Amino acid sequence: MKEKFPTKEQLLRKCGWLEIPKAGTITRAASALDNKTGSWRAFRPIIDEKKCINCGFCAAYCPDNAVPFKDGKRGKVNLDYCKGCLICMQVCPVKAIKMEEEAKFNK
């Protein structure tokens, strides 16, 4: 197989058994990035910038690496991949994170 599986085009449709690599092997690294799991989100974490102390707990605990943290500063939550599990809200030591229903943002 020349092209690595799955190509972006292949991700958009279901492939037949002759097309996929043996044993369900995924031959393209980081293909999960093309799968925007943020669409699963029912609740969105909202961070209060005034309360945040940049401790980095939310970034460290995020199971999807959706909270960037660089040079001692937390960045904006990447909503393409944040599934809304709200672990960040649970671990925040200063209670700077609250949740809002996702539906509110999609009006």
Partner 1 sequence: MKAKFTIVPLTANYAIAEAMRQISPDVVAAYPITPQSAIVERFAKFVANGIVDTEMVRVESEHSAMSACVGASMAGARAMTATCSAGLALMWEILGVASGLRCPIVMPVANRALSAPINIHCDHSDSMGARDLSWIQIYCENAQEAYENVFLALKLAEHSDVQLPVMVCEDGFITSHCVQNVRIYEDDAIKKFISERKPEFDLLDLKSPITVGAIELQDYYFETKRQQEEAMGKALKIYLDAGKELSKTTGNKYPYSESYRLEDADAVIVTMSSAAGTTKAVVDRLRGNGKKVGLLKLRLFRPFPYDAVRKALNAAETVGVLDRSFSFGAYAPLFSEIRNSMYPLAKKPRLQSYVFGLGGRDLLESHVEQAFKELLSGLTTKEEKYLGLR
**Which residues of this protein are in contact with partner 1, per CB under 8 A?**
14-17, 20-27, 29
Q: How far is the CB of 45 from partner 1 (least distance, A)?
A: 26
**Distance from CA of residue 94 to its chain's centroid?**
23
The least distance separating partner 1 from the CB of residue 1, rounded to whole angstroms, comes to 9
Cβ distance 98 to 48 under 8 Å? yes
Q: Which is nearer to partner 1, 32 or 60 (CB)?
A: 32
CB of 21 to partner 1, least distance (A): 8
Q: Which is nearer to partner 1, 23 or 72 (CB)?
A: 23
Q: How is residue 75 written in tokens?
A: 């960045």
Shortest gap between Cβ of 59 and partner 1 (angstroms)?
24
Neighbours of 76 (CB within 10 A): 9
Phi, psi (degrees; rounded to nearest 5) at 28: -105, 125
DSSP per residue over 68-79, as a string? -EETTEE----T
| Residue placing its CB nearer to partner 1 in the complex, 15 or 53 | 15
Q: Which is nearer to partner 1, 30 or 70 (CB)?
A: 30
Q: How many CB atoms lie within 10 A of CB 62?
A: 22
